[in-house]
Amino acid sequence: MKTQKTKSQKLALIAGALFCAAGILSAQAANSTLVTFSVDLGAVSNPGYVAVSGSFNAWGQLNLVQEGSSTVYTNTVNDTADANGGVLQYKFTTSADGSSYSYEGTADYNNRAVILPSTSGASLILPTPFYNDAGTPVAQDVTFQVDMSQQINLGLFTNDSSVVTVNGNFNGWTGVNAMTHDPSIMITNQYGLVTSNVYTTTFSITNSPYAAMDYKFVENGNYEVNATLNDGGGNRFFAMPVTSPLTNALFFFGDAPYAPLSQVTFSVDMSAQLQFGNWSPSYGVFCQGINGDWNNDAVNTMTNNPGASNTNLYYVTYTLGQGSANGYKFTYNGPGGTVYEQPSSTGGNNRSYTVPLLDSVSVPTAYFSDVSPYDLLSSNIDVTFSVNMTNAVQYGTTTAFNPGSDFVFVNSAAFTGSWQSWDPISLSSYLLTNNPPSLVYSGTFSIPAGTALNLVYKYGINGADNEAGNGSNHGRYIRTTATGAYTLPMDTFGNQYNEPAFGQLAVKSAAGGNIALSWLGAPNVQVQTSTSLTGNNWVSHPETSGAVWSSGVNSTNGLISVTNWPAGTGNLFFRLIQQ
């Protein structure tokens, strides 16, 4: 998270001084579980090639072998990618020709998942579901249980008055299955306090044998968040029981055990959004996501201090459990609906904060979308994007890019203020072209004033979001605006590289009365000089900012600014500042 910055708050490097950090290497036991996969293809005619993809093999293809003349296909692999005690996610796939595989459709429309043994070197034989969960349905009772102690402690839930339900694919996520308080179940928490705040429910579920089932607990209409062991969609999970009833493990709601409370204040600076006309105080400011509340409601409303020197700072205070992890985003009510920030520090994903063991704490102020007034373009600029499509493959598949029939598009909120829909019609203005037989595709597009210098973007084949996983984007900086145009370094499809903001300050020995000085800059970055490292006598050189400077050499991180600096006599030190 970027903290509030003053004009010279962020320092990169003092040239000529070498900073070293001693590292401590600790040996860690390797993750290792021998996992046996199997699937029944009895409901599939002519399955062709059968494989399994998952987190254990970076969603590649592990081919399965038919067991004799049966409809069951199986194989065993040593999973060294997933943590012991963590979650293995997977799906079965089929292919007619062994080159292009298609994923099965599970009963929960999500990944299959299993918790791995906590000790390395163990073996795990997974149950055998039907492909597409298309087996003859079976019925079994399933019991769910949840401890609401921390929700009660937070004042969000009242025993025998509030309602907690279990929602999942087995009941259409409707919340029809209310849970009952069972005071006979006594829990001793980590502080030695005995509580009886467990809620349970048991009901019959009917589905294909060992089908993928997922669920969440919901209190008073709010879904729990932060489930540590989840199926990739944030849901708890189990396989449909076949031979006997199933009792799922007892969980804390939101995986939040009972803990002392803390008053936590969040704050956001809207100055940049106001300056460039993206936001008006009449739109309000909200902090969504705390305690699972993703709404622009009264609880999440942030307020400012009209008498403060900066009236664009907005605050809200929550009561949270010490040690709890919280996901959130700042939002406002724009003319077209709710506008969610896209923080560069998270790649556009949610912010996160773990509450320290303190009675009260203020989270460092963040700029909306991590953008200060200095981080925005002051004028329009033409930016050229380019991507190398050599050996490009659509994410999650083995489908290779075909330059004879496929098209390449680029998508970014930088173009119009919001991401375009992932389809060729919505992205028609952002089609990239090549000069055959070259597999480098490029395009130049106008980026308007008020856009962040840090461009977050993604490529797609044929208009689909298929370069990388959801939220996995490229991030590069516009290093100079002096000429009105800037060319980004070439990307490689599927390599979601993110540039550093600035730095790489380097000085070479004086020659001919000059010092060879180079740095990775930006319009909001300047060189400062000083004749001494003691005192505060640094001199700023605004002419070295990327708003003025345009000469240099290209690198994998964009333009490296280069100049010959007069050496003079005596000591001379350099550093970079980001405004």
Distance CA 463, CA 177 (A): 41
Question: What pLDDT, on the 0 to 100 scale, is given for residue 59?
Answer: 93
Per the CATH hierarchy, to which homologous superfamily does domain 375-492 belong?
Immunoglobulins (2.60.40.10)
Q: Which of 412, 557, 561 is nearest to 480 (CA)?
A: 561
Q: Inform me whether the pLDDT recorded for 26 exceeds 80.
A: no
- Mean pLDDT of all residues belonging to the chain: 90
Distance CA 556, CA 440 (A): 16
CATH of domain 33-133: 2.60.40.10
Pick the CATH number of 138-252 from 3.20.20.70, 2.60.40.10, 3.60.110.10, 2.60.15.10: 2.60.40.10
Mean predicted confidence (pLDDT) in 452-468: 95
* Cα atoms in the Cβ-side hemisphere of radius 13 Å centred on 410: 28
Least confident piece of the model among 42-56, 106-120, 501-515: 501-515
Distance CA 47, CA 430 (A): 39
Question: What pLDDT, on the 0 to 100 scale, is given for residue 221?
Answer: 86
Question: What pLDDT, on the 0 to 100 scale, is given for residue 189?
Answer: 81
Query: How many CB atoms lie under 10 A from the CB of residue 248?
Result: 17
Q: Inform me whether the pLDDT recorded for 319 exceeds 70.
A: yes
Domain ranges in the chain with CATH number 2.60.40.10: 33-133, 138-252, 261-371, 375-492
Q: Inform me whether the pLDDT recorded for 4 exceeds 70.
A: no
- Rounded to a whole number of angstroms, the distance between the first and last alpha carbons of the chain is 16
Q: Which of 510, 571, 572, 509 is nearest to 541 (CA)?
A: 572
Question: What pLDDT, on the 0 to 100 scale, is given for residue 513?
Answer: 81
Distance CA 215, CA 219 (A): 13
Question: What pLDDT, on the 0 to 100 scale, is given for residue 14?
Answer: 44
Strands 360-362 and 261-269: parallel
Class of domain 261-371: mainly beta
Asked if residue 327 lies in contact with residue 226, where contact means CB atoms within 8 angstroms, the answer is yes
Distance CA 325, CA 358 (A): 14
Least confident piece of the model among 153-162, 228-237, 281-290, 564-573: 564-573
Q: Inform me whether the pLDDT recorded for 139 exceeds 80.
A: yes
pLDDT category at 386 given cuts 50, 70, 90 is: very high
Q: Inform me whether the pLDDT recorded for 19 exceeds 60.
A: no
- Give domain 503-578's CATH architecture: Sandwich (2.60)
> Could you give the 3-state DSSP secondary structure of residue 317?
strand
Question: What pLDDT, on the 0 to 100 scale, is given for residue 510?
Answer: 67
